[in-house]
Amino acid sequence: MLWSITIGRVAGTAVRIHITFILFLVWIGASALRHDGGDAALRNVLFIVLLFACVLLHEFGHILTARRFGINTPEVTLLPIGGVASLERIPDKPGQELAVALAGPAVNIVIAVALILVAGAVIPEEMQKIDDPRICLVARLAGANLFLAIFNLIPAFPMDGGRVLHAVLSMKMGPQRATSVAARIGQGFAFVLGFAGLFGNPMLLFIAIFVYVAAAGEAQDSALRSAVTGLRVMDAMETRVASVPVEASLGDAVDVLLATAQHQFPVIDGHRKPVGLLVREDLIAALGAHPREAPIADVMRAPTPVVRVRQDLGEALNVLGAGGSTALCVVDETGALAGMLTRENMAEMMMIKSVQPDWTFKQRR
Ligand SMILES: [Zn+2]
């Protein structure tokens, strides 16, 4: 996840903190310092460290449950609303998905109950004032854990409640339809949260925007996944692609740029094998610093990931997403350039699929 810092590694999982989580903690510390002085701020820092540990335990609830089903977790990122464990995949079986989603909030409930038992009677009003440093630390921590459990059970992605909802819906209507229904319910909740935020806590507004964007992303990703099911790279790739020989100059590349509508160009060697990718922005930037005779080999992005014509389109989509690039070179059996796969292609494919869901692209086989 962007804007996060790795702080360590536990049982094969990298622990990362998102910058907004740190800002959230700073806000709590600073407000205590202003109202109640240094001693209170210090106690709040201790509270923050313990809260941080509880959020982490929550995430490891998910991570260790997923591991029981054979799913590893490369990293976990902490956000103000809890944490996001980047599981390698979501369990296919709705029952397993439900167990993994519920394991996180369950950890917070166990911690809260344990703290309440340790501290004896806890006045409910005290538990609500979790940012008030005058309240007993154990009571505040118990309150925070209950808050984490309840908040994470809001039925919206990326909250655990969104996963719970998805798992339950999957049992009734299958995973694809469950995703779009769950995403829509999540966006509905985001509107309710945002509305509450407008008239109450501005923090809710921030969370609402976050939830809305995450739910929209989940729905879009699910639509794309279902559109590419059963398709191969050759079904969606651009075949009329202008390429640039690796020995070309910046001036040659400008000629090709102007002659076509492409924004990215495969750079090929003498055997038509892709050796790099020339991106319009890089070319323009290079022209500002180098003469037009300069070789494009210095400007191209290399090595560039390639996919094969018969490769599964879903796999190619993963490569496209992982590299953060906007285009992929497609090669045939001999390794020679056969076409290009771009985000525009994928968008066009989805448009076709939206009006003709059974489109099979037979004419291209
Ligand atoms: Zn969780």
pLDDT tens column, 3-18? 788 888 887 888 988 8
**Residue 24 Cα to ligand 1 middle (Å):** 18
Q: Which two tokens stand for residue 309?
A: 């014509």
Where in the chain are the domains? 4-153, 172-228, 233-364
Average pLDDT over residues 74-86: 77
pLDDT at 131: 56
Alpha helices in 260-298 (DSSP H): 280-289
pLDDT attached to residue 365 = 45
CB 141 within 8 Å of CB 50: yes
Average pLDDT, the chain: 83
What does the pLDDT read at residue 93? 87
- For the entire predicted model, the pTM comes to 0.60
pLDDT tier, 243 (very low <50, low <70, confident <90, very high otherwise): very high
362 or 14, higher pLDDT: 14
Pick one of 3.50.50.60, 3.10.580.10, 3.40.50.300, 3.40.640.10 as the CATH number of 233-364: 3.10.580.10
Q: Cα(103) to centroid of ligand 1, in Å?
A: 8
The predicted-structure confidence for 23-75, as pLDDT tens digits, reads as follows: 877 877 788 788 877 777 777 778 877 888 888 899 999 999 999 998 888 88
Cα–Cα distances (Å) from 361 to 327, 328, 354, 356, in that order, read 21, 20, 14, 11
Decide: residue 51, CB within 10 A, 0-12 exposed, 13-18 middle, 19+ buried: buried
Distance 58 CA to ligand 1 centre (A): 6
Question: CB atoms < 10 A from the CB of 277, how many?
Answer: 25
Q: What per-residue confidence (pLDDT) applies to 211?
A: 75
145 C-alpha to center of ligand 1: Å?
12
| Residue-wise pLDDT tens digits, 101-147 | 999 999 999 999 998 887 765 556 655 555 555 567 788 888 888 88
Ligand 1 centroid vs 256 CA: distance in angstroms? 50
